[in-house]
């Protein structure tokens, strides 16, 4: 069985197992998506969702963030971890948005990854969830672990994995597939243990073979 065939089977199995493929971060617009995803680095989505209501009530647009200071912003996000770095990045990012994009979030991967603190994972999430770009691949720890166990790659570099998966996955399915990997990684194929007996992909997963 080829890697492309395994990828297609995985797409179908996860779609059946998790029909509602949505991002667990809570946001209402592109800027909030960008900020929430930046906050989620080395932090659970549940924790981010506890922090963002007060944060987004105080900061309603890019200009609000840009006119703030990292020190002020840090008070809202302390429980997210790495809050000093994150607050600096978010303020710097907002200033670039105001200076170069009229306060709006750009709709290109190249422009997004050029923003302070924004990597390919965040950029792909915004492109897929907000702008509906086909072929967006969000490579997080769940994605890396499960796709390696499936035998789709043997890489550790996020960009390499992203490009490999983009070549294997149907473009219309890739974004939702990554969301479903998160759900599966939390429930079944965890970092601590792969519960293969409960896995919807056990018949073709290379880890079990």
Q: Which residues pair with 194 in a beta bridge?
A: 189
Residue of 88, 107, 140, 207 with catalytic role: 140
CA-based Rg of the chain, rounded to a whole angstrom?
18
The CA distances from residue 85 to 20, 92, 121, 131, in Å, are 33, 11, 17, 27
140 is catalytic: yes
Scored b (16 or more CB within 10 A) or e, 29-54 reads ebbbbbbbbbbbbebebeebbebbee
129 is catalytic: no
The tokens for 56 are 């987004």
**Taking the CB of residue 177, how many other CB atoms lie within 10 A of it?**
23
Q: Whole-angstrom Cα distance, residue 195 to residue 49?
A: 28
Residue of 121, 159, 176, 207 with catalytic role: 121
**Would you say 164 and 154 are in contact if contact means Cβ atoms under 8 Å apart?**
no
The length of the chain, given as a count of residues: 209
Q: Any idea which residues carry the catalytic annotation?
A: 121, 140
């Amino acid at each position: 069985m080829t890697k492309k065939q395994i990828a297609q089977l995985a797409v179908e199995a996860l779609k059946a197992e998790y029909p509602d493929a949505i991002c667990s971060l809570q946001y209402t617009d592109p800027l909030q998506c960008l900020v929430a995803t930046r906050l989620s680095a080395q932090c659970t989505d549940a924790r981010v969702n506890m922090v963002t209501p007060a944060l987004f009530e105080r900061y309603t647009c890019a200009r609000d963030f840009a006119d703030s200071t990292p020190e002020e912003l840090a008070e809202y996000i302390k429980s997210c971890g790495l809050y000093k770095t994150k607050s600096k990045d978010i303020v710097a990012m907002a200033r670039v948005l105001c200076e170069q994009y009229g306060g709006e979030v750009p709709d290109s991967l190249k422009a997004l990854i050029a923003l302070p603190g924004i990597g390919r994972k965040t950029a792909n999430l915004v492109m897929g969830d907000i702008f509906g770009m086909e072929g967006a691949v969000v490579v997080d720890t769940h994605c890396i672990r499960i796709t390696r166990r499936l035998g789709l790659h043997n890489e550790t570099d996020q960009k390499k994995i992203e490009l490999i998966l983009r070549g294997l996955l149907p473009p219309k399915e890739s974004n939702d597939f990554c969301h479903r990997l998160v759900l599966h990684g939390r429930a079944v194929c965890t970092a601590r243990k792969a519960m293969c007996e409960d896995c919807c992909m056990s018949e073709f997963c290379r880890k079990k073979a």
